[in-house]
Amino acid sequence: MIEGNIPSNIGELKNLAVLELRNNRLIGEIPREIGKLISLYVLDLRHNQLSGHIHEQIGKLSNLELLGLSSNMLSGKIPEDIGNCVKLQLLQMNNNSLNGSIPGSLGNLVSLQRMLDLSMNDLSGPIPSEIRKLEMLIYANFSHNLLSGVIPVSIASMQSLSIFDVSYNFLEGFVPRGIHNASAEWFIHNKGVCGDLVGMSPCNFPSVDHRQKHHKFILKIGLPMFFTTISVAAIVISFLICRKKVSQKTDDVRKRDVFSVWSFDGRMAFEDILNATEIFDEKYCIGEGSYGRVYKAELQGEQVVAVKKLHAGNEEAHDEERFRHEIEMLTKIRQRSIIKLYGYCSHPRYRFLVCQFIERGNLASTLSNQQLAIQFHWQRRTTLIRDVAQAISYLHHDVQPPIIHRDITSRNILLDADYKAFVSDFGIARMLKPDSSNWSALAGTYGCIAPELSYTSVVTEKCDVYSFGVVVLEVLMGKHPGDVQNFISSLGDQFLLEEILDKQLPQPETDEEEDIKRCMSVAFGCLLPSPKERPIMLKVYQDLIV
């Protein structure tokens, strides 16, 4: 973990090509001298505590292909000069305090293919029309071909922007023509953005009484022009009325075909998913999700994904709500220990998520399998605990508004081939909105639910803190502790680690034992009965990495 400022003499490293400093504790401003690194093609400073303005010198990095500045405390305007970085393929500035308008120069970034994320800032004004130069064809709709299964156009060949996210700002006005293939979710929670996208408020063009507002002008140009204007206005109004009627007739159809398939890398299409699973044949099923089955899909190019599909014909409101909740949450989250969403389909016949495939399955299964549990040694277990803590801390403190997972359990933590952790299943997650009561019906997994939820229905971040404490005990013990409060009471003030640690592993070495004691101490703090006495997740994570 790197702390402190980025030194100004970094500009002397003329041949530096990659500067990756994400997930550290960097503070202060980004030095102007970074503009001297003309060979740089990756600048990744995400997830730090950097502040101050983004200097115009950033525009001198003409070879830059990736610029990641998200989840910091940067302020001020986005410099116009950033439009000079014409080789940029990915630009992330989300989750900062950037203000002012979106510079039209961003339209010059014609190489952007993967992402332009400006969400969760304080940007205002209209979306510049120049943005339409960034083609967004990756968000293609193949829903009308569902029954035949024939999709003649391959997404893989498209070289266009996959994500353009300006949600959670103060933008207003209409979405410029030319980006109509975008998602309405990329524009939500702004001051007043309107457009023709499915799910977005249409732009209402106000009627104007020219006779009252512009009578002087009319007198100057004469009555003939006045009557001509009235005639044209009548035609336009008639056209809009007809268009509105047609729109109302097709609104239900459009809502049902909300989305086909998109991806961050543009290498998959709807057809690929159906072919890879042989239209969701049972032999590709690898487990059950919270509201449907999970399938393994091997796509062309040896890419493997997990497809989480809502049960066929399932019209239950809570399952549909979970499905949409998970889409909403995962499209806002980008953190290395949280499962990645590659795409989704929300058609009446097929509703599914396309997610990152994690090889070993969930944590609970690994702990219950003796052979796998032995390979899941103490160092791997304590690393997993820290990674999960960092992921939850990100949800609580780096996302605005904060996200409460509400179902942190060993079944919702997946392990890859190296036993790295990935938090999954956001079907019942909630956003903590300041203008909301945050009331919710009881939800979660029995044995991991915070005790206060038995007498109050107010969701807070301390619910996740408690569930995390349960998971820590389960990881160290190799099994669920059962009734948590009774288990803690039975230990007394003095207890030996070997009495409770997983017997499938040998006793930890001295350095491992110190790490385990730290994790155990943190777990007990998370499991305090009173939510006010529990630490916040940022403090939990900091205590684990000391």
Tokens of 382: 């304590």
Helix (H) or strand (E) holding 389: helix 378-397
Cα–Cα dist 414/15, whole Å: 39
Q: Which residues contact 493 (CB under 8 A, 6 or more apart)?
A: none
Give the span between the Cα atoms of 472 and 477, in whole angstroms. 9
Which run of H or E residues covers position 538?
helix 537-544
Question: Cβ of 374: how many Cβ atoms within 10 Å?
Answer: 12
Reduced to 3 states (helix: H, G, I; strand: E, B; else coil), residue 244 is helix
Q: What are phi and psi of 412, to 5 degrees?
A: -105, 15
3-state SS, one letter per residue, for 37-81: CCCCCEEECCCCEEEECCCHHHHHCCCCCEEECCCCEEEECCCHH
Q: Provide the annotated active-site residues.
A: 407
- Residue 398 near residue 47, CB atoms below 8 Å: yes
Q: Which two tokens stand for residue 75?
A: 């302020």
Strand ranges for 83-237 from DSSP E: 90-92, 97-100, 115-117, 122-125, 163-165, 170-174, 192-194
